[in-house]
Structure 1
Amino acid sequence: MNIKSILYTGLHPKLYSHLGNVYHHPMIEIAELEDYGLVDKEITRLNEYSILIFTSSYAVMFFFKRLKQIANINDIKHLFLFSIGKHTSATLASFDITPNFEPIEDSSVGLVKLFKKLSISNEKILIPRSNIARSYMPVELRKKGNEVKTLAIYRNIYPQTMEKQNLDKFGAIIFTSPSCVDNFMKTYGQLPSNKEFITKGRETQKRLDYYKIHCS
Structure 2
Amino acid sequence: MVLTIGARESKLSQVQVAEVMSCLPEVEYQPLWIKTVGDRDLKTPLGPMGKTDFFTREIDEALLNGGCRVAVHSAKDLPDPLPKGLKMVALTKGVDPSDVLVMPKGMTLETLPKGARIGSSSPRRDRVIHRLRPDLICHSIRGGVDSRLTQLDRGDFDGLVCAEAALIRLGETARNRIVLPGGNTPLQGRLAILAREGDQEMETLFSSVDIREKGKVLHLGLSVPHSPNGIHHPLIKTLPRPFKTFDIERAFVDLPEYTHLIFTSKVGAAVFIDCISCYGFSLDDLKGKEVIVVGQATKRLLEEKGVRVSRVAEEETQEGVIKMLSIENFEEAYVLLPQSSLARPHLAQWLGMRRVRYQQCTLYETHTLVPKKKLDLTCFDKIVFTSPSTVDAFKKVYNSFPKGVKAEAVGPITRRHLNLTLSQND
What TM-score does the superposition give when structure 2 sets the normalisation length?
A: 0.47
Larger helix proportion, structure 1 or 2? 1
2:217 is the counterpart of 1:9: no
Q: TM-score, normalised by structure 1?
A: 0.90
TM-superposed CA distance for 1:48, in Å, is 2.9
Counterpart pick for 1:54 among 260, 263, 279: 263
- Return the offset for 1:161: 4.4
Separation (CA, whole Å) in 2 of partners of 1:54 and 1:113: 15
Gap runs ≥5 in structure 2: 1-211
Q: Which runs of 5+ in 1 are unaligned?
A: none
Deviation at 1:40, TM superposition (A): 2.6
Query: Is 1:187 matched with 2:409?
Result: no
Question: Alignment partner for residue 23 of structure 1, among 212, 231, 235?
Answer: 231
Tell me how far apart the structure 1 counterparts of residues 424 and 329 of structure 2 sit (CA, whole Å): 38
CA displacement at 1:41 relative to structure 2: 2.6
SS in 1 for 2:311: coil
CA–CA separation in structure 2 for the residues paired with 1:52 and 1:64: 12
Cα separation, 2, equivalents of 1:2 and 1:179: 25
SS at match of 1:72: coil
Residues 3 and 196 of structure 1: CA distance in aligned 2, closer, same or farther (over 3 Å): farther
* 1:77 alignment partner AA: K
Whether the 8 Å CA contact 1:132–1:155 is kept in 2: the answer is yes
Listed as ranges, the matches of 1:66-105 within 5 Å are 66-73=275-282, 74-105=284-315
Is it true that 1:170 corresponds to 2:380 in the alignment? yes
Kindly provide the amino acid, as one letter, of the partner of residue 26 in structure 1.
P
Amino acid in the other structure paired with 2:407: F
- Mapped contact 1:59–1:129 kept (Cα < 8 A): yes
Q: Secondary structure of 1:40's partner? A: helix
Percent identity for Structure 1 against Structure 2? 24
Pick closer, same or farther for the CA change 1:212–1:41 going to 2, 3 Å. same
State the Cα distance separating 1:170 from its structure 2 match: 0.5
Instruction: Give the secondary-structure state (helix, strand or coil) at the position aligned to 1:102.
Output: strand
Q: Contact conserved, 1:40 with 1:66, CA < 8 A, in 2?
A: no
1:162: how far off?
4.5
Per the alignment, in what secondary structure is the counterpart of residue 47 of structure 1? helix
Count of residues in correspondence between the two structures: 212
1:127-178 Cα offsets, whole Å, 9 max, x none, are 1111111112222232222233221111111115443110011010111100
Is residue 44–residue 71 contact of structure 1 (8 Å, CA) maintained in 2? no
- Of 1-10 and 29-38, deviating more is 29-38
Q: Is the 8 A contact 1:8 1:25 kept in 2?
A: yes
1:76 Cα deviation after fit = 2.0
Contact kept? 1:3, 1:171, Cα under 8 Å:
no
- Is residue 33 of structure 1 aligned with residue 241 of structure 2? yes
2: CA distance, partners of 1:108 / 1:200: 14
**1:215, CA displacement in angstroms?**
1.6
Task: Sort the Cα spacing of 1:134 and 1:162 in 2 relative to 1 into closer, same or farther, 3 A.
Answer: farther
Tell me, yes or no, if the aligned pair for 2:251 and 2:359 is still in contact at 8 Å.
no
Deviation at 1:35, TM superposition (A): 5.5
Q: What letter matches 2:213 in structure 1?
A: N
Give the letter for the 2:388 counterpart: P
Deviations 1:30-57 (A, max 9, x none): 1121453222331121123221011122
Which deviations, in whole Å up to 9, do the C-alpha atoms of 1:156-202 show, x marking residues without a partner? 11115443110011010111100000000001111222222221122
Q: Which stretches of structure 1, 4 residues or more, deviate above 3 A after TM superposition?
A: none
RMSD (CA atoms)? 1.8
